[in-house]
Amino acid sequence: MSIRDSVTASKGSRWLKQVKQSRILYLLLVPTFLMLIAFNYWPAITALYRSLYAWDGAFYQQFIGLGNFQEMFSDPIMITSFRNMALLTMGWVVIRVVFPLLGAELVFNLRSAWAQYFYRVIFVIPMVIPQIVTLLLWRFMYGMYGPINEFLRVAGLGHLARGWLGDFDFALPAILFVGFPWIDAFNFLIFLAGLIAIPSSVLETALLEGAVGLRRIVMVDIPLILGQIKLVVVLTLINSIREYQMILVMTNGGPGWATMVPGLAMYQNAFLYGRMGYGSAIGTTLFVILLGLTYLNMRYVQSEIELKA
């Protein structure tokens, strides 16, 4: 780099010539960059500086410095939102890693190849259903006349039946429970691919050494698919923090603000209460949190694997 720098001056004209020669290449990149400037760079900058304004998105605007952020951290709705986000994230990171891993191990250890294929297809089926349908189905499952309550009535526990998503104590756990038993197809497939990639000689050696069943899983499998596990943990973490689409459909943050999360609060402030500046500040805060996590991930977790962010 430094050598190149020192000879830049003499190369100036050659550089210009190269640029001229490559003009067709730049031309080919123009559509991509026009789109990015209009819909990514410019909006991103807007988002950051608008978070310093009190702004209704139209006529009223006033620079208030960090006022939005101050308000955010004293707003009980926002405090609950961040708490909910933290709880859901912790819950999801555990269950959406453990259960797909359990499923993948069970399938991987089946002896019949046909049965392996069969269960793999079964666990992938939910992936082909549009997310909105899955969410609306779960909303129905939790409803007063949904299968969960019907089951309780059949089991003689009718007094426990309730509208789960409308209950202050149960709404948040109900959100966490969506998708039970949480064999997330993407995570499941990543784990299964990792297990299949373990050389059979390693497994044979493990068998000879007497490492079978749970012992082999802990001593051999998990260390060998650690890369996949880290990847899935990081992706689940990032996705959990920015999840609000699901909560919008399931409860819209209610009852009260029992299931509110920051992303949804951003949406509501901006598009229902016309508080674009405050909404932007919430968005900026989420951005900073995610950026910090991405940095920690690249610094400490990600080694040989690249991220599908």
Partner 1 sequence: MKRLTRDEILKHTALIVLAALTLFPLYFLIITSFKDYDQFIHHFWEPTLPLRWENYVDAWTEVSGYITNSILYATVESLCVVVLSSISAYVFARYNFPGREVLFYLILGVLMIPPVLMLIPQFLVVRWFGLLDTRAGLLLPMIAGGQVFSIFILRTFFAGLPEELFEAARIDGANHFQLYSQIAIPLSFPIVVTIAMLNFVGTWNEIIWPLVVLSREELKPVTTGLLTFQGQFTVTSYGPMFAGYVLASIPLIVVFLFCMKYYISGITSGALKI
Question: Going by C-beta distance under 8 Å and a sequence separation of 6 or more, which residues neighbour residue 206?
Answer: 212, 216, 219, 220
The span from the CA of 73 to the CA of 272, in Å, is 21
Q: Is 175 in the site for partner 1 (CB under 8 A)?
A: no
Q: Which of residues 204-233 bind partner 1 (CB under 8 A)?
A: 213, 227-228, 231
**How many Cα atoms are found within 13 Å in the side-chain-facing hemisphere of 34?**
6
x/- mask, partner 1, residues 264-303, rule CB under 8 A, reads --xx--xx----x--xx--xx-xx--xx--x---------
Query: C-beta of 159: minimal distance to partner 1 in Å?
Result: 19
Query: C-beta of 276: minimal distance to partner 1 in Å?
Result: 6
The span from the CA of 146 to the CA of 137, in Å, is 9
Which of 3, 24, 113, 208 binds partner 1 (CB under 8 A)? It is 24
Size of the site for partner 1 (CB under 8 A): 91
The span from the CA of 62 to the CA of 48, in Å, is 15
Buried b or exposed e, range 122-149, using 16+ CB within 10 angstroms: ebeeeeeeeeeebbeebbebbbeebebb
DSSP-based three-state secondary structure for 132: helix
> Which CB sits closer to partner 1, 144 or 168?
144
Q: Is 73 in the site for partner 1 (CB under 8 A)?
A: no
Which of 29, 113, 155, 208 binds partner 1 (CB under 8 A)? It is 29
Which of 136, 157, 218, 219 binds partner 1 (CB under 8 A)? It is 136
Which of 53, 92, 138, 142 binds partner 1 (CB under 8 A)? It is 138
Q: Which of residues 4-23 bind partner 1 (CB under 8 A)?
A: 15, 18-19, 22
Q: Are 172 and 88 in contact (CB under 8 A)?
A: yes
Query: C-beta of 263: minimal distance to partner 1 in Å?
Result: 5
